[in-house]
Structures are given as structure tokens and as C-alpha cells.
Amino acid sequence: MKNIDKEEKISFAQAFKMNWRAFGIIYRKRPQMIASRLIASIWDVLTPYAEIWLSARIIDELAGDRDPARLKFLVILTLAVTAASALISAFIRKWRDVQDTSFWFAVDRIFIEKKASLDYADLDNPKTHELIAAMETIGSYAGGGFARVVFCFDTFFQQIFSIAGGIALTVSLFTSKTGENAASALTETPWIAVVAACVMGALIAVSSVLNNKSGAIWAKNAKAHVLGNRFFWHFGWLGWDDEAAADIRIYNQQRFCGKYIANKESAFESKGLYAKLSKYPIGVYSALSTGLSVLFSAAVNAYICIKAVSGAFGVGMVTQYTASTMRVFSGIGMLIEFYGDIKNNAAYLKLDFQLIDMKSSLQKGTRGVEPPRKESGGIEFKNVSFKYPGTDDYVLKNVSIKFRPGSRLAAVGMNGSGKTTFIKLLCRLYDPTEGEILYNGVNIKEYDYGEYMRMFAVVFQDFYITKFKLGENVSSGPITDREKVEKCLESAGFADKLAEYEKGIDTYMGKIYDPDGVECSGGEAQKIAIARALYKDAPFIILDEPTASLDPIAEADIYSKFNDIAKGKSAIYISHRLSSCKFCDEIAVFHEGQIIQHGSHDELLSDEDGKYRQLWYAQAQYYQK
């Protein structure tokens, strides 16, 4: 992944390409939404011209002949056109609003889907978190990124039509012939019209360029507050996270934020970078830009008035020219801003595309997964070594072990000896740094990833139970087989608790979705996690410290059921409590990233100098005391 701090200059062509690509992605997701927005925008800019033109005709008639029949016709026409355009506008806007309800969801979904499909290893990488935080915080804070693309292209098409409509009504301002009076001397040469048009154009161009400059400063410095935003979001969320609520209150953890609030130079504070930039240069550019557009209005009005005084046109045309020139030049200004917007937005899109273009580093094969073969089959680790991404130390070193299908393996060892990492490699959450893992004699990288993953049901130590319904947690999705859900909960020792729930497996976990939801103890949650693994009914069941939160009775219950639970399956069982491993066929002793002993309980215990015997007696002594 590229370093997001690295600044590269982006040309307009590159910026346009990026914006267009983003526009295309949104268009493919929601073509109707884009079409409705464009049609509504174009309709909105064109309809006022009809009213401007008709009003000018009425004023001309009032200031001129005052023919009642013509006036009546013009008034009726104006009313009819206004009513028809209001009706059509309402219809188009309704269509756009309906389509727009899913605007933010359509934009967010692009990233939600991408984030959910990232490699597990990438989630461990601080660079990924930094990138996502940068995208989310600076993108949404400054309104940049995919959403802005839609607004940019709305503006572009809107202004093209606005300028075309305006020019059609304005051209005669510069070409109309003056009358015979003093003011006409000023306007009779065609060069005056050219100079007037140029001055107006220059004023609006400079004003828009200054506005772009102030926008560019925002975009360029947006990264300065990424870290501040990350902390802000993290603690802002924790403040009402029910799982952290007790700790926050007991330890008064609000103080974490104190150092950012106390530091007046931090991103959001009064002496921070943004406060300084807002005064200068952003403030100065914005003020100059506004000042110049006021000057522009003055210049336009002066020119129109001089021509009117010189007798080139009547009072009705004055209103038409004033309104339409303003629209033409504001259209030009908006197009110049579009140019700047496209460039500024590219700075945000660059981050978005860094995420979208992130490739999976896991090799994903196409080979179908067959059931474990009894003879040469099963799992084999061959000289596997592993370092976590971004770290220098090996946490597994030359691990070699064969694991026969249908057998039960216990992985024991001290904390940090590499047992969980061993499981994560087996389940392809990471790939080995060196060596290979074989399944049925074939490197696991060659198998279809989804199919391979379906072979494992794992209860990790830090399993996660969602706040959805109990049954949905067990089936990891909508409840389709209620009987199976209940049976798995029963096998996991949850039957008594389930009987207490009025809504049974439809009971919500926690109260955030339903006031009748239940709060589970650590042990109960662990049983739900075990039931979920059973429900998956995979050929390999892996339990990583599955009884750590269980009381001794529940623990004994799970052990006694373990044979049933793992019947016909291959099972791997990680535990500190060696007494609970006795029933396994094989035991692998992990120590400092290596498997230092491998055999049955009796074999390992008979090795007088072995680690297993040492651990066994240390624990036995502990329990005897």
C-alpha cells in the first residue's frame, strides 16, 4: 500500500480522470439516481429563463404601447408557463428526491463492501486504519470524495445549460445599436462591447480562481488533522459504547481526551492549524473573491445602464440583460470553480481509490476442496515460520506437524507461545512467511478461498457476539433452521438459559435494539460462540481456550460433551489447563514459537525432562494447594 503522506502533484487531466471514474462507479450502482439529479438540475437552470424573457416582454409592453390585448396574452402566457414549469419541476424533484433517499447509502456502500472484503492481515496494519480514518474523517469533514463528485458533475452540466440559455438572451446586449444621444458615443464602437465583456469575464475569473485557491488550501492541509480526528472518533464512539461504559466511568477515562482539549494548538482548537488558515490565507482569498464578484455586478449593471441610456433598448430588456448576464457569468464562475473542485476533490479521491484498489495479498486458488483423506490426507505444517505484518520477530519458527483427519489435537503452552497464531495460519487469516501448509497433500493457497474457509468452525478467545437476535448469532445470519439452532445451543450447555427467555432464540442480545433484550455473562456468551461453531457443522472444529470464562461446573459439562461435539470431526483444542487435554489423541507443546514436544498424554508425561511434564506437575500442584 502506498504511503498516504507522500504528496504527488495531480494534473487536471489526472484529476478529471479520477473524478470521472468515481462518477462512473456511482452511476453503475445507481443510474436512475444520477439521471434524476442531472435532469432536475438542468430543468432548474433553464426554467427561470422563460420567466425572465416573458417578464421583459410585459415590462416592455407596459413601458411602450400598452396594448391591452397583447398585455392580456403575455400575462396569460406567463401564468401558463409558470404553472406548467412549476408542475413539471415538482414532478422531477419528487423523482429526484425518491432516488436521492439512498444517495449516502449508495456512496457508503461502495466502501462498506470494500472494507468488509479486506484481508484480515490488512486490518492488522496501522496504515490501513490511517487510510480509512483519513478517508472518512477528512473526506466527510471537508465534504470531499465520492459524494462531491456527484455535486461537481451536477454543477458542470447545470452550468453548461445555464450559460447556453443565458447567452441566447444576452447576445443582443453587445450587438444592439445605440440611439442618437451623448451616452451613445461611449457604446457605439464595437470594441467597447469587447472590452466590457473582457473586464466582466476577467473579474469573474479572478474571483473564482481566488475561491478555488481557498478550497485548495483546505484540501492540501486536510491530512493535518487525521490523527486528531481518529482520536476524536474513537473516543466519541466509546463514550456510548455499552461494552466500554463501565470502565470509562470507573477509571474516568474521559481524561484521555483532555490532552487534546488542553492543547490549544491541536487540530480543532483556537491556535490550531485550521484556525490559523481560516484567518489567512483562506479568509483573505474568500474575502477578495466575494469583493470581486460584487465589483463584477457593478460593472455589468453600469454597462447595461449606459447602453439603455444611449437608447439601445428599453426598460424590459434592462431586466432581461441584468438577470441573464448574471446567470451567464455566474455559470462561467461555477465552471471555473468546477475546474478547481475537480482538482481539489482529486486529493480526497486519491485516498478513496487507494482503498478501492487495495489488492488482496493472499493467494486465492481455484481448486475445489475435497473431504479430508484418511491416509495421506489431513493437515500438514511443513517448516512453517511466521512474522506478523510490519514486525521483525518470528512468532512461529520452523513448525512442522501432521494432523490426521478425525483426530483430536490439543495445543498447549505458555501465553504468547504461538498457539493462536498457529490456528490463524491454518484458517488462512494470514499466510506463512516461510514454509507451507498442506491439506490432502496440496498447498492450502491453491484451494478456493471460500470453500477452504468453510471447513473451519473456530471459537476464538476474543470471539464477538453481535447485538442481533440469539438465533441470528448462532446461525450467523437469518434464522432458517430453528430446530438446529436450539439443538446447537443445547449441546453448548445453553438449554437452561434459553428456557428462561420469553422470546426464545428471537431474544435480542443486549438492549440496543429491543428493551426486552438480554445481557449475557462472559460464560454465557462463550456458550453462544460454541453453539455458533457447532451450527456451522464444519469438518474442523477449533476451540481456542473455550472454557476460559466458564465456571467449573459448566467447564466439566463442556468437556463431557466434547466427544459428542467433535464426533466425526477433526478437532483442535487450545488450553492452558492441561487436565482438560488428557482426552485428546495428540498433544503439541508450543514454546517460544516452536513445537517442542508432540505425542499422547502418556508419552509426553513419561518424558522426565520434557516441558509437558513440568507444566503438568506445576498445574497439579497448584490445584492440590
Where do contacts with ligand ADP occur on this chain (CB under 6 A)? 124, 388, 391, 395, 413, 415-421, 590
Nearer to ligand ADP, 420 or 547 (CB): 420
List of residues 6+ apart from 122 with CB closer than 8 A: 1, 128, 358, 361
The letter for the amino acid at 431 is D
Rounded to the nearest whole angstrom, what is the least distance from the CB of residue 378 to ligand ADP in the complex? Answer: 22
How many Å apart are CA 290 and CA 284, to the nearest integer? 10
| Torsion angle (degrees, nearest 10) of CA 130, 275, 209, 167 | 100
How many Å apart are CA 424 and CA 124, to the nearest integer? 13
533 close to 539: Cβ distance less than 8 angstroms: no
Rounded to the nearest whole angstrom, what is the least distance from the CB of residue 433 to ligand ADP in the complex? Answer: 12
Strand residues in 23-174 grouped as ranges (E): none
Nearer to ligand ADP, 148 or 419 (CB): 419
DSSP string, 200-221: HHHHHHHHHHHHHHHHHHHHHH
DSSP string, 259-328: HHHH-TTSTTSTTSHHHHHHHTTHHHHHHHHHHHHHHHHHHHHHHHHHHHHTTSS-HHHHHHHHHHHHHH
How many Å apart are CA 623 and CA 605, to the nearest integer? 18
549 close to 525: Cβ distance less than 8 angstroms: yes
Nearer to ligand ADP, 108 or 124 (CB): 124
Rounded to the nearest whole angstrom, what is the least distance from the CB of residue 600 to ligand ADP in the complex? Answer: 21
Phi, psi of 178 (to 5 degrees): -85, 165
Nearer to ligand ADP, 162 or 420 (CB): 420
Nearer to ligand ADP, 123 or 512 (CB): 123
Rounded to the nearest whole angstrom, what is the least distance from the CB of residue 374 to ligand ADP in the complex? Answer: 29
Phi, psi of 386 (to 5 degrees): -150, 135
Nearer to ligand ADP, 268 or 388 (CB): 388
Nearer to ligand ADP, 377 or 413 (CB): 413
Nearer to ligand ADP, 82 or 461 (CB): 461
472 close to 503: Cβ distance less than 8 angstroms: no
Rounded to the nearest whole angstrom, what is the least distance from the CB of residue 526 to ligand ADP in the complex? Answer: 16
Q: Which three cell numbers stand for residue 354?
A: 487507494
Rounded to the nearest whole angstrom, what is the least distance from the CB of residue 453 to ligand ADP in the complex? Answer: 19
Measure the N-to-C terminal CA separation of the chain; round to a whole number of Å.
Answer: 54
- Judged by phi (left if over 0) then psi (alpha if -120 to 50, else beta), residue 593 lies in left
Diameter of the chain measured on Cα atoms:
122
Rounded to the nearest whole angstrom, what is the least distance from the CB of residue 30 to ligand ADP in the complex? Answer: 38
Rounded to the nearest whole angstrom, what is the least distance from the CB of residue 415 to ligand ADP in the complex? Answer: 4
* Residues paired with 437 in a beta bridge: 381
Nearer to ligand ADP, 413 or 546 (CB): 413
Rounded to the nearest whole angstrom, what is the least distance from the CB of residue 544 to ligand ADP in the complex? Answer: 7
Rounded to the nearest whole angstrom, what is the least distance from the CB of residue 399 to ligand ADP in the complex? Answer: 11
Nearest CA to 569 out of 412, 403, 453 is that of 403
Rounded to the nearest whole angstrom, what is the least distance from the CB of residue 207 to ligand ADP in the complex? Answer: 53
Nearer to ligand ADP, 541 or 595 (CB): 595
512 close to 242: Cβ distance less than 8 angstroms: yes
Nearer to ligand ADP, 318 or 542 (CB): 542
Q: Which helix (H) or strand (E) is 568 found in, with range?
A: none
Nearer to ligand ADP, 408 or 419 (CB): 419
Rounded to the nearest whole angstrom, what is the least distance from the CB of residue 125 to ligand ADP in the complex? Answer: 10
List of residues 6+ apart from 596 with CB closer than 8 A: 589, 590, 611
Rg (CA), the chain: 36
Nearer to ligand ADP, 96 or 419 (CB): 419
How would you list the strands of the sheet with 456-459, edge to edge? 456-459, 540-544, 570-574, 408-413, 586-591, 594-599
Rounded to the nearest whole angstrom, what is the least distance from the CB of residue 212 to ligand ADP in the complex? Answer: 44
Nearer to ligand ADP, 74 or 395 (CB): 395
| Cβ neighbours, 10 Å, residue 176 | 17
Rounded to the nearest whole angstrom, what is the least distance from the CB of residue 390 to ligand ADP in the complex? Answer: 8
